[in-house]
Homo-oligomer: A and B are copies of this chain.
Amino acid sequence: MAVRLDEKPAGEARQRKPRARNSPPRSPVTRQSARATRNSEIVYRDLRDAIINVTLPPGTSLVEKDITETYGISRTPVREAILRLAEERLVDVVPKSGTFVARIPVTELQEAIVARKALEEVCVREATAKASKSQLMALRAVIQRERELAEAGNEQAFHEADNAFHAGIASAGGYPGIWTMIEKIRVQVERYRRLTLPQDGRMEMIVAEHAAVLDAIEQGNADAAVAAMTSHLNKLQIDIGTFQDLWPDYFLFDVK
Count of chain A residues near B, Cβ 8 A: 82
Contact status A11-B56, CB under 8 Å: yes
Contact status B4-A71, CB under 8 Å: yes
How far does the Cβ of A51 sit from chain B's closest Cβ, in whole Å?
A: 9
Tell me, in angstroms, the Cα distance from A138 to B8 when the chains sit together. 38
Contact string against B for A residues 124-153, beta-carbon threshold 8 Å, 1 for contact and 0 otherwise: 000000000000000000000000000000
Contact status A177-B108, CB under 8 Å: yes
Interface residues of A, Cβ cutoff 8 Å to B: 1-5, 8, 10-15, 20-25, 27-31, 34-35, 37-39, 42-43, 46-47, 49-50, 55-56, 58-63, 66-67, 70-73, 76, 79-80, 83-84, 87, 92, 94-95, 97-98, 100-103, 107-108, 111-112, 114-115, 118-119, 121-122, 175-178, 181, 184-185, 254, 256
- Known contacts A13-B62, A24-B92, A79-B80; 4 further A-B pairs (Cβ under 8 A): A2-B37, A3-B73, A24-B98, A24-B100
